Amino acid sequence: MNATTDRPARRHRSWAEPWKVKVVEPIRMTTRAERERALLEAGFNTFLLRSEDVYIDLLTDSGTSAMSDSQWAGMMLGDEAYAGSRNFYHLEDAVRRYYGYRHVVPTHQGRGAENILSKVLIKPGDTVPGNMYFTTTRAHQELAGANFVDVIVREAHDPASDLPFKGNVDLAALEALIERVGASRIPYLCLAATVNMAGGQPVSMANIRAVHELARRYGIRVMLDATRAVENAYFIQQREAGFAGRSVAEILREFCSYSDGCTMSGKKDSLVNIGGWLAVNDAALYEEASNLVVLYEGLHTYGGMAGRDMEAMARGIEESVQDDHIRARIGQVEYLGEKLLEAGVPIVRPIGGHAVYLDAKAFYPHLDQEQFPAQALAAYLYEASGVRAMERGIVSAGRDRATGRNHHPALELVRLTIPRRVYTQAHMDVTAEAVIETYEQRASARGLRLVYEPKYLRFFQARFARD
């Protein structure tokens, strides 16, 4: 018995979302014939489907969050002055308070910040190490003339490894790289938290501290990709010794303190539909970035965002670091992942922060990677159920710049990405049933062939035909 309530003690209490629904957006189930037609028109690329042909949209968690009533109210308080909007100062305050960086340059979204950072810091021939590549991030580094080198721990490439911090940097590999190319050719280390392409896997506090120490010894900057750093902070609270009693907000502040700045896509953690920023501590770097931003994004006090969008983001940042919010957000992802694990579906373990990743190599062992198994799986899932997911494998990895050959990533995945505060547990149940049905039909799956390949970030616009 519980001494204070006289009720039998319970070992486990379920959580529920810390919000209730005020506005709904209707969605429509299509027929199989309609989906087959839509998929053919889209060249078997889920990015090319019309959203009205999608039932449950798990393409991405980027810009797809439901905003709160406070954020919508903030939109009405947009100060749309060209220069010095009050909403910029609210955003700057929120970044300083919760992330701890001194200077903030707003951008229209994350890749705007990546472009500015790459242009300011990279010289042709430089090397940028990172804990696994991300598509847009690496593209900007390469466009600026850098060579990206992956220094993530080996286990990150193994979907079955249960390591709690699979986003960690391999410190020995990092140090060996620095010794090989020389610290002067490494403008910064790019550290993502969590690591999207590894399955939404976190970096531990111990690891970022050690990375910070090592980088400082060699005089190399650590630039964070803070896009999902709040989710990373939650994993530290849950998994790393000594953090159970600390708030996600406190953990986030400490985590960021081991970096010199960050790029940020506000479209994820920060619960907004558009927006991003670059933050740095170094005043000289800030001056260069705020100079360049006027060329590519807009004045340094709006950087491609309307005042109302900056206000929504300032409020979203504060909401995003609340423990009950993040517990429910990641709890929903875990709920879906657990259902798939129970059914024996091969997924990346541990379950990630923003998505459940299907292991397409294990799904379709009869398909060669050059037959795009993950792309094929995302298409079959959509055809069967109207659930839209995204390929994260050989198509996303693109080609080697020097040889022109396809990169062959160890991970060939389909990402079921959960938008924040959008879908219910019933939607997760329907999704799990759809994936399980697709898994049961795996033996008859056919591969795809590339029929159109765009020059940059091919996964967005490539077209395929079924073998």
Binding site for ligand PM9 (CB under 6 A): 60, 62, 109-111, 134-137, 192, 196, 225, 227, 265, 267, 276
113 versus 153: smaller Cβ distance to ligand PM9? 113
**132: helix, coil or strand?**
coil
- Closer to ligand PM9 by CB, 231 or 318: give it: 231
Smallest distance from the beta carbon of 192 to ligand PM9, in angstroms? 5
Residue 148 annotated among the catalytic residues of the structure: no
- Residue closer to ligand PM9 by CB (options 178, 379) is 379
Coil, helix or strand at residue 60: coil
Whether 391 and 398 have beta carbons less than 8 Å apart is answered as: no
**Do residues 305 and 275 lie in contact, with contact meaning Cβ atoms separated by under 8 Å?**
yes
Q: Which residues are CB-neighbours of 307 under 8 A, at least 6 positions away? A: 78, 79, 80, 81, 85, 86, 87, 88
Shortest reach from residue 95's CB to ligand PM9, in Å: 16
Task: Determine how β-strand 127-130 pairs with β-strand 147-150.
Answer: parallel
Query: Smallest Cα–Cα separation from 378: which of 417, 327, 336, 425?
Result: 417
Residue with smaller CB distance to ligand PM9, 65 or 135: 135
Is position 61 annotated as part of the catalytic site?
A: no
Closest to 354 measured CA to CA, from 227, 183, 164:
227
225 an active-site residue? yes
Q: Is 339 a catalytic residue?
A: no
Give the residue among 84, 141, 36 at the shortest CA–CA distance from 302.
84
Catalytic residue among 46, 107, 135, 431: 135
C-beta closer to ligand PM9: residue 108 or 442: 108
165 belongs to the catalytic site: no
Q: Sign of dihedral through CA atoms 249, 305, 136, 273?
A: positive
Give the nearest residue (CB) to ligand PM9.
Answer: 110
Catalytic site residue 154?
Answer: no
H-type alpha helices, 76-188? 86-98, 110-121, 135-143, 171-181
324 in active site: no
Phi, psi at residue 422, to the nearest 5°? Answer: -110, -50
**Cβ distance 388 to 57 under 8 Å?**
yes
- To ligand PM9, the closest distance from the beta carbon of 111 in angstroms equals 3
As measured in angstroms, the least distance from the Cβ of 412 to ligand PM9 is: 16
Q: Which of 69, 82, 180, 449 is catalytic?
A: 82
Active site residues: 82, 134-135, 225, 268, 392, 459
